[in-house]
Amino acid sequence: MKITPMKTTLKFSTLILALGLSSMAMQAYAFGDADSMSEGPYTQQFKALDTDNDGTLTYSEAKKDKVYAKGIRAADLDNDKTLDEKEYSDYKAKVQNKNTKRVVNDSVITAKTKAELLKDEGFKSMKISVETHQGVVLLSGFVENEAQIKQAETIAGAIEGVKSVKNSLVVKSN
């Protein structure tokens, strides 16, 4: 199989993006200086939310963190209506890991979709924008004819991980 510079660049770019996102996620754990990092990655956030300084977060204290605004009960493993620092940190890490994985997956879907469109002879000179959010691919831009609109949607829909395709491609007028 011959690898063209475009394919190599695209694969390399995807790898760099994934590594960068992973690095950012790891940096998100490291709030503060070296002394505070030895306490745990979320200790400073936990202490800032613990306004009564009792070593636990009530639901009203925890709701000030947007991660817990929708549902605190999933983090409250012992069902005592409070979160200790371990419950807080474990749940926060779980949510951030899930979000990082989603962003990486979306980036991979976008890269694969663009690569497949570039491989198709009919799209080589087309400028089609591809964006992905939570597995939903949005195609936008201009194409030469209706058949290309359908073909682009078919290509995007065949990519692993795609949940649906929103096709906003438009036939350009001459």
Question: Is the pTM above the cut of 0.85?
Answer: no
Query: Domain count of the chain?
Result: 2
Residue 129's CATH number: 3.30.1340.30
Out of 69, 87, 102, a domain closes at 102
Which residues, 6 or more positions from 91, have their beta carbon under 8 angstroms from its beta carbon?
67, 68, 74, 75, 83
For residue 26, give Cα distances in angstroms to 31, 37, 65, 91. 10, 12, 19, 16
User: What was the pLDDT predicted at 14?
Assistant: 59
Q: Are residues 26 and 93 in the same domain?
A: yes
Residue 69 and residue 137 in one domain: no
CATH number, domain of 65, equals 1.10.238.10
85-119 and 146-157 are packed helices; what angle lies between their axes, rounded to 10 degrees?
140
Paired with 169 in beta bridges are: 141
Name every residue whose Cβ is closer than 8 Å to that of residue 63 and which is 6 or more positions away in sequence.
Answer: 69, 72
Q: Decide: helix, strand or coil at residue 7.
A: helix
Amino acid (1-letter code) at residue 75: A
Is 86 found in the same domain as 15?
Answer: yes
Render pLDDT for 48-84 as a digit per residue (tens, 0 to 9).
999 999 999 998 898 888 888 777 888 889 999 999 9
User: What pLDDT digit, counting tens, does each position of 130-173 carry?
Assistant: 999 999 999 999 998 899 999 999 999 999 999 999 999 999 88
Greater pLDDT, 166 or 98: 166
Same domain, residue pair 43 and 10: yes
Collapsing DSSP to helix, strand or coil, 142 comes out as strand
Domain residue limits at 144: 108-171
